[in-house]
Each structure stands twice: as structure tokens, then as C-alpha cells.
Amino acid sequence: MINNISIPIEKTGDREKIAGYAIYLGDMKPEGMLYAKTLRSDRPRARISKIDIPSMPEGYYIVDKNDVPGKNRVKIITDDQPIFAEDTVNYIGEPILLVVGPDKQRILELISEIHVEYQDLEPIFTMEAAENRSLPPIYGEDNCFAEYSYSRGNADRIFSEAKLVVEDEYETGYQEHIYMEPQGMLGVYEDNRITVYGSFQCPYYVSDALIQAFGWDSDRIRAVQTTTGGAFGGKEEYPSLIAGHVAIAAFKTGHPVQLIFDRTEDIEVTSKRHPSVICFKTALDDNNKILAIKADVSINAGAYAGLSSVVLQRIIFNVVGVYNIPNLEVYGKAVATNTVPAGAFRGFGGPQAFFAIEMHMHHIAKRLGLEPLDFKKKHMVKTGDPTATGGTFWDDVVLPDMIKSIEEMSGYREKVKSFNEKQGDSFRGIGVSLFYHGCGFTGSGERDHIKAVVKLRKYADGKVEILVSNVDMGQGLLTTFSKIVANTLELPIKNIIYVNPDTSRVPNSGPTVASRSVMIVGKLLEDAAIELKSRWNEASELEIIKNYKHPEYIKWDEEKLCGDAYPAYSWGVNAVEVEVDKLTYQIDVKGVWTVFDVGKAIDERIIQGQIEGGVLQGLGLAALEVMNCKGGKLQQRTITDYVIPTAMDFAKVESKLIDNPYKGGPFGAKGAGELTVVGAAPALAAAVCDALGVEIHRLPVTPEYLMEVAKNGKRD
Ligand code: MTE
Ligand code: MOS
């Protein structure tokens, strides 16, 4: 029993991982297992006219579209992506078929003997090209997978009377997850049932996708999560595609079939963070107060829609950041191109939106000769203020305290002063970002789509098992959920059982995404534990089930995109200090300070891990991680040329947590997993702007990009 839930305990699973005996998918080798390798399109857009396949030796198989028992579509929001290509391919790397067999080398030889005859079609690679109506569209009439808009007040009237109108454009690139364990799946067909084992975030997304692919009843389909070496959103929707591959292969061959990507294949063909372009038009009055913003968002979705519509929603709802802007007009679209499909990535659109708005605020302040943080503070939302979509910030907004803390920790004010005084001989700068992350699904997702169910089972020996479909992918759920239940039941932690979920045993408590697990599912577990405690002596074995109940006061209109887009918000303030080399424009990060409000930490060390990892991932997006696409082909395909940060690249993060318990979360906890990645890029970029006296409009901030902007706007 833990008195203060925030006090760290040993993280479940770490011992096994460190010692090397944790079982990952690659360690599983059931009797008779075959390997699979994917034959992929090497064309960005083409019709497949013919496939010449050599005769397969004994024990080797081809698995393709003709083997799909049900619907040849990956089940996700719009179901537009085939499991195996049919008559056309739409991006380089699109799966066409599998070669399956006992020997990996032989499989590669057989793959190389297959010849696909294509009839090339005119591809579209960029958002600009997709918008050019003179080219034939590749999707629908306008290459748009999704399009949304919403407004508040009357922006047009304000613009006609504004004292000053500022227009800006911001651009962000791809980001690749580089989870340590590449994607992988194992399919088994046994007793007329399909089971897939794999490294994934969403057991029920996988099983639902297979139910559709096979057209079978749910009791014949089972998905089991294996110890997952990181996911970061990359194992949210993509695993449903390869689960289809191995399951269909297992069904056809009668053998267990394993498909594991190597790093290059993983980088080339799995989803990425959406590249974005965000344009602002902002109106200010005589007192330098922003009265209206028009924002126009485009994201490059790639060849299939996937989750792009919901990523886009999060971007447009976050696009004015932590500021109360009375008049708004926001438009966004997800654009189809013949490139690898983009998808979920920690922050889910938040990093793109907050980079844009934080830089925009910074640049406006500088252009007006104002101190950026003071300018931001004048526009910040307060408790009870309306949100961009006309909802309400219901819970305590403690940004002023957080800013005070960051100023003290980083020495922001003194540094701004001293760096400015020493203009010319020191390219040093410090920047601050303010941000939030809406916890849980956007809009009515939890209420109308997910409808989470959790179960607690008490056994005769007094042990209690947590039965949920949420997974530990490094973010520590095995520990935090167990703590919530143990603490509520006043039981030692060793009496709580919680193993990797298996859809044949656990109810659907929803996917492990949107930083929802602790706040939404953890709350249901807390409620279940409270009930179990009160009924503890009723019987030696007991089962308690809890269903998600939507808070009455959280209202959302899906048609009008109006109301509370999120039930609650976690908040962050980051400061980054840099020194930029005068010759090479290399950025040396001298200090990183963070203050977060995640309600209440369920385990401070786990939150610390989320902070260090998330901030590093955000700094990578900010300054290191370059990924270009040329002719539909990604140029960076290994971790030698796609460089992610290591602990050596940036200064150690100094962090502080603000206790601000949320009544709707277990022990007051809100979401924490994604928040930590959101604010690093705008803080670093602001610091670099400060150091060089330039404006930054694009991520990543590479030395090459800095040289370019320094030529245009270097301070004197
Ligand atoms: N932390 C680790 N170590 N590994 C991960 O894969 N995924 C992130 C974040 N933190 C991730 C992580 C993402 S994308 C999400 S949505 C949240 O964890 C989900 O966890 P939660 O719902 O438990 O907050
Ligand atoms: Mo996280 S991007 O919601 O899996």
C-alpha cells in the first residue's frame, strides 16, 4: 500500500527489459512458424497490369488480395486502404503481396524473381501540386480527405477596422517515430480461430480490423499484445494493416506466420507525423491587442486517409494555442498525395499547431518591440474562459504560476536582458513556449465511439486482476494502473495482476492513445476499485464492471464543431536556452526547463520519464530530424541519415510539476504522455530567433535553414 500515490515505485517490466529476458514478438517461434516478406510497389502511382510470379517451391506461398476472405480494406475511419493492393498502387512501398516460407534467404530470392508490370499514372507529391486544379486529381475531385472549418465572433468585421494586420506562414516536416522495436506481427490459425500477437497500442483496433478482413464473428478473432518496445502513435493504426497480412497468411498456409520489419523497411513504409503548413492572418488594435485570427491549415496526409481527419481536428482546435482570441475563422484540410500515409504521432497535431501559434505570437511581439512572454501573457486564457470552439476551460488554469516557476528556474528575465545587452558578440538566446494538450479523444469520441468498459476481478486468494485493453508501451501503464487499484483497495502492489491485454479476456476499454489511459480508463478503474472495496466480503470471487459515463457538463456538437473539444487540458511551459555557432549555425542547447500541470502524478518517476523522453523527441523535431520526400521516395531510410537525439545532444531537462488535481481523473490525474513533446520546438525556435535576431518559420531548424534566414534578416 502506497500512502502518497505520486511516490515512485519500481516500474513493472523494467527489470526484465534491462536484464534481457523480456519476451518480444521476435522471441516467439511457435512450432512450424513461417516467415513473411512483403513485395511492395516501387511506383508512386500506377496501375498494375500484370504480376509474373515464379513457381513456388514446396512450402512457399504467395499471399495476396485474392486470399482475403472478407473485405480487402484496413478498418479505420474511412476504410480506403486495401490490405493488399488491387489494380492500382498509390505510394512507393504499398504492399502488393507476401512471400511466405520457412527460410528468410529463400524468400528474398523468390521476391526478387517476381516481376510486376505497371502502367504509370500521373502522381501528385506535394500539397501545392494537389491544390493545382489543372492536374487530374488523385483522390475525389479536389485531393482532400477531410476539410473542416469553425468560427467564433465576427472576424471579417474586425479585419475591416484593424489597426494592424499581420500575416505569417509556418511549415513543419515529417517526423519518424523510431520506436526501438520495429513493427511486427505473428498470425496463428488454430481451431478455426485466428490469433495475432504483436507490438501494438490498440488491441481492439486490430481485432476489429481482422473481423472485417475475414468477415467472421468476433469470437473467432483474437489480438494479443506482446511486450512493446515503444510506439509513440506509430503503432496506433499501422498494426491493423500487417495484422491483416499475417492473419491471412496463417489462414492460407495453416502455419503460424511472422512478419517483422527491419529498420529501413519500417522507416520507409510506416506512418509519419503529418507535414503541415499553417497560415495566420491576425488583426490587432491600437493597444497591441489581438482581436481576430484567421487560420488556414493544410496537412499532407499521404496516399490514404487513415487518421488524418482526426489529426487535422486536433490541429485546428489547438491552432490559437493558450490564447483567448474573441474572433476566429479557422479552416483546415487533409490533402491526398502519392506519398507514404501519415498518421498518429505523439501530440497528434499538437506540435504542429503549437509551433505555429507560439512562433506567430513571438514574431508579432518582436515586430512591435514588445517582450514576447509579456505579450503572450496579455492574451492567455483564464479559468472559465471560452475555448476556441466555444467550450469552456472548466478547471483551474494555473499558467501564471507555471510561468513564474519557469522564470525562476531558467533565469529567463535576467538572461533576456543580458543576452540583449551583449548583442553582436554572443549568439545566445532563450525562448519560452506555453501550451496545453487536450486529454482524451477529440470531440465526442469517448462518449459516442469508444464507450470504454473496464473490469476488475477479485480471486479467492485475495489477488485482484485488472482487465482492460490498454497497453504498456513504455509509458508505464502496468505500473500506474496497478498503483491506482492497489492504492484504492489498500492492498500491496504485488496483489494486483495486470498482464498484456488479450481481446479474448479483456473488455474494450478503448485504444492506448490520446493520453487517455490514466485519465479516462484509470478513473474507471478507480471507481471499480471503490466498489470492489465496499463489496469485498460479499464473495470470495467477484467481478466489477464499469462503463464510461460522459460528464454532463461537457458538450460537443460534431456537426458544428462547437463546444468542449476535450473534457480537460494538461498544461506546459518550457524554456530553452541556446548558443548558436557564428560560423556553422550549429545550435548548442545550453539549458531546458519545463513546468507541467498533469493534475496529479500517479508516479513521479514515470512522469519524469515522460518528460525527458517527450522533450527530447520534441527537440529532435525542432532541430535534428530531417526527412525529405523526393519523387514520392523518402530520402532518409536509416538511423544513420535520419538522426534522432541521444542524451548527449541536448542539455539535461530540469523540470517541475504543479499539483492541480482534476476531479474527473483518478487521484486527480490528467493526461501526460503526449503533452511533453508539444512545447519543445517552439521554445527552441524562439531561443534561436532571440540569439540570431531572425524569424523562424519552419521546422526543423537546421544550420542550412538558419544560414538561409540569416542572410535575409540578421540583426545588426
Ligand atoms: N512513452 C513511451 N515510453 N513510449 C511510447 O510509446 N507513447 C506516447 C506517450 N508516451 C509512448 C510514451 C503516446 S503517443 C501516447 S498517446 C501516450 O503515451 C499514451 O499513454 P497514456 O494514455 O497512458 O497517457
Ligand atoms: Mo498517441 S499519438 O495518441 O498514440
**Cell numbers of 536, please?**
469485498
Spatial separation of the C-alpha atoms in residues 265 and 634, rounded to whole Å: 11
Helix (H, G, I), strand (E, B) or coil at 364: helix
Say how many C-beta atoms besides its own lie within 10 A of residue 469's C-beta.
Answer: 27
pLDDT at 352: 98
Burial of 560 (0-12, 13-18, 19+ CB in 10 A): exposed
Ligand 1 in reach of 516 Cβ (< 6 A): yes
Q: Is the dihedral of CA 247, 250, 251, 252 positive or negative?
A: positive
Judged by its nearest atom, the ligand closest to the C-alpha of residue 179 is 1
C-alpha separations of 207 from 34, 512, 590 in Å: 22, 14, 47
* pLDDT (average), residues 602-615: 98
φ/ψ (deg, to 5) at 435: -160, 170
- Ligand 2 centroid from CA 201, angstroms: 9
- Tell me which residue has cell 536556452: 577
- Going by pLDDT thresholds of 50, 70 and 90, the confidence category of residue 506 is very high
Kindly give, in sequence order, each residue whose CB lies less than 8 Å from that of residue 124, ignoring residues fewer than 6 positions away.
45, 130, 135, 138, 143, 336, 337, 338
**Cell numbers of 211, please?**
473481423
Q: Whose alpha carbon is nearest atom 7 of ligand 1?
A: 232
Ligand 2: atom nearest CA of 347 is: 2
- Ligand 1 centroid from CA 172, angstroms: 22
Between 209-223, 425-439, 506-520, 675-689, the lowest mean confidence (pLDDT) is in: 425-439
Report whether 691 contacts 580 (CB < 8 A): yes
Ligand 2 in reach of 237 Cβ (< 6 A): no
Q: Whose alpha carbon is nearest atom 1 of ligand 1?
A: 475
* pLDDT (average), residues 324-340: 98
pLDDT at 423: 62
Ligand 2 in reach of 442 Cβ (< 6 A): no
Between 126-140, 363-377, 520-534, the lowest mean confidence (pLDDT) is in: 126-140
pLDDT at 709: 93
SS3 letters across 629-682: EECCEECCCCCCCCCCCCCCCCCCEEEEECCCCCCCCHHHCCCCCCHHHHCHHH
Give the residue ranges of DSSP H helices in 144-202. 155-161
Phi-psi region of 369 (alpha: psi -120 to 50; beta: other; left: phi over 0): left
| Cα–Cα–Cα angle for 300, 305, 307, rounded to 5 degrees | 90
pLDDT at 658: 97
pLDDT digits (tens, 9 = 90+) for 3-54: 699 999 999 999 999 999 999 999 999 999 999 999 999 999 999 999 999 9
Spatial separation of the C-alpha atoms in residues 686 and 623, rounded to whole Å: 12
Percent with pLDDT over 90 in the chain: 96
- Ligand 2 centroid from CA 475, angstroms: 11
Ligand 1 in reach of 574 Cβ (< 6 A): no
**Cell numbers of 644, please?**
534522432
Report whether 484 contacts 666 (CB < 8 A): yes
Reply yes or no on whether the pLDDT at 2 is more than 60. Answer: no
Ligand 1 in reach of 613 Cβ (< 6 A): yes
pLDDT at 711: 83
- Ligand 2 centroid from CA 512, angstroms: 7
* pLDDT (average), residues 347-358: 98
- Going by pLDDT thresholds of 50, 70 and 90, the confidence category of residue 710 is confident
C-alpha separations of 149 from 115, 236, 285 in Å: 46, 26, 25
Task: List 466's β-bridge partners, or say none.
Answer: 456
Beta strand pairing call for 61-63 and 95-101: antiparallel
Give the residue ranges of DSSP H helices in 174-330. 203-214, 238-253, 263-269, 308-318
Spatial separation of the C-alpha atoms in residues 618 and 610, rounded to whole Å: 12
Q: Whose alpha carbon is nearest atom 8 of ligand 1?
A: 232
Pocket residue to mutate for ligand 2, from 199, 228, 236, most atoms within 8 A of Cβ: 236
Ligand 2 in reach of 513 Cβ (< 6 A): yes
Ligand 2: atom nearest CA of 346 is: 2
Residue from 688, 696, 695, 692 nearest 715 by CA: 692
Helix (H, G, I), strand (E, B) or coil at 21: coil
- Ligand 2 centroid from CA 50, angstroms: 39
> How does the average pLDDT of the chain come out, rounded?
96
Angle separating helix axes 350-367 and 680-692, nearest 10 degrees: 30
Ligand 1: atom nearest CA of 345 is: 14
Ligand 2: atom nearest CA of 512 is: 4
pLDDT digits (tens, 9 = 90+) for 119-165: 999 999 999 999 988 889 999 999 999 999 999 999 999 999 999 99
Kindly give, in sequence order, each residue whose CB lies less than 8 Å from that of residue 91, ignoring residues fewer than 6 positions away.
41, 44, 45, 302, 303, 338, 339, 340, 341, 632
Report whether 433 contacts 573 (CB < 8 A): yes
Helix (H, G, I), strand (E, B) or coil at 290: strand
pLDDT digits (tens, 9 = 90+) for 281-323: 999 999 999 999 999 999 999 999 999 999 999 999 999 999 9
- Ligand 2 centroid from CA 346, angstroms: 5
- Going by pLDDT thresholds of 50, 70 and 90, the confidence category of residue 425 is low
Reply yes or no on whether the pLDDT at 1 is more than 70. Answer: no
Reply yes or no on whether the pLDDT at 432 is more than 60. Answer: yes
Q: Whose alpha carbon is nearest atom 23 of ligand 1?
A: 517
Kindly give, in sequence order, each residue whose CB lies less than 8 Å from that of residue 183, ignoring residues fewer than 6 positions away.
199, 234, 235, 238, 239, 242, 260, 261, 266, 270
- Ligand 2 centroid from CA 229, angstroms: 15
Beta strand pairing call for 629-630 and 633-634: antiparallel
* pLDDT (average), residues 348-364: 98
- Ligand 1 centroid from CA 671, angstroms: 10
Neighbour-count burial for 684-707, b at 16+ CB within 10 Å, e otherwise: bbbbbbbbbbbbbbbbbbbbebbe
Reply yes or no on whether the pLDDT at 715 is more than 50. Answer: no
Judged by its nearest atom, the ligand closest to the C-alpha of residue 509 is 1
* pLDDT (average), residues 325-334: 98
Q: Whose alpha carbon is nearest atom 4 of ligand 2?
A: 233
pLDDT digits (tens, 9 = 90+) for 249-279: 999 999 999 999 999 999 999 999 999 999 9
Spatial separation of the C-alpha atoms in residues 445 and 448, rounded to whole Å: 5
- Tell me which residue has cell 480508463: 521
pLDDT digits (tens, 9 = 90+) for 227-253: 999 999 999 999 999 999 999 999 999
- Tell me which residue has cell 478513473: 523
CA 694 to chain centre: 30
Ligand 2 in reach of 266 Cβ (< 6 A): no
- Ligand 1 centroid from CA 11, angstroms: 15
Ligand 1 in reach of 5 Cβ (< 6 A): no
Reply yes or no on whether the pLDDT at 182 is more than 70. Answer: yes
Reply yes or no on whether the pLDDT at 418 is more than 70. Answer: yes
Judged by its nearest atom, the ligand closest to the C-alpha of residue 347 is 2
Reply yes or no on whether the pLDDT at 420 is more than 90. Answer: no
Q: Whose alpha carbon is nearest atom 21 of ligand 1?
A: 515
Report whether 699 contacts 437 (CB < 8 A): no
Ligand 2 in reach of 344 Cβ (< 6 A): yes
- Residue 76 is given by DSSP the state S
Kindly give, in sequence order, each residue whose CB lies less than 8 Å from that of residue 369, ignoring residues fewer than 6 positions away.
none
C-alpha separations of 554 from 59, 197, 442 in Å: 57, 37, 12
Burial of 149 (0-12, 13-18, 19+ CB in 10 A): middle
- Residue 521 is given by DSSP the state I
- Write the DSSP assignment of 485-515 as a string of letters: HHHHHT--GGGEE--S-BTTTS-----S-TT
Reply yes or no on whether the pLDDT at 647 is more than 90. Answer: no
| Cα–Cα–Cα angle for 559, 560, 565, rounded to 5 degrees | 95
pLDDT at 521: 98
Ligand 1 in reach of 518 Cβ (< 6 A): yes
Judged by its nearest atom, the ligand closest to the C-alpha of residue 470 is 1
Report whether 386 contacts 392 (CB < 8 A): yes
pLDDT at 716: 38
